[in-house]
Amino acid sequence: MDKKETTSPEKEAALKALRAQFTGTDPPTQITLLAAALKLFSISTFEISRFLDIYHPAGRIKDLRKRGYNILTVWTTAETEAGVPHRIGRYVLLAEPSQTEPMEQAA
């Protein structure tokens, strides 16, 4: 089992800065925010929830995949702050959709 997941201070700051750029909790805003984050880093479900304030990460990943994003899920086990191990996904952007597809389709 992996140790408690840690996020570097630099990555945390970058994710929080992205969150400040994309205000709103509606699905189109969350999809755009998550796409921007994936262009910079691989990101876990914990990081998506904690730093991007997206509380249904798998749903937003599914939305991105529907839009043509090629996203790999790497399964890992991480310990929460409470010391409980959880199986979580770490998402890696492999390829973006073609530029002709609009980013903000209905969720």
pLDDT of residue 13: 97
Q: Which residues contact 88 (CB under 8 A, 6 or more apart)?
A: 5, 44, 45, 46, 75, 76, 77, 78
The answer on pLDDT for 32 being more than 50 is yes
The answer on pLDDT for 33 being more than 50 is yes
Give the pLDDT confidence of 39-98 residue by residue, as tens digits: 999 999 999 999 999 999 999 999 999 999 999 999 999 888 888 999 999 999 999 998
pLDDT of residue 3: 55
pTM of the model: 0.84
Q: How far apart are CA 103 and CA 50, in angstroms?
A: 24
- In 3D space, the residue among 27, 28, 47, 46 whose CA is nearest the CA of residue 37 turns out to be 47
pLDDT of residue 100: 47
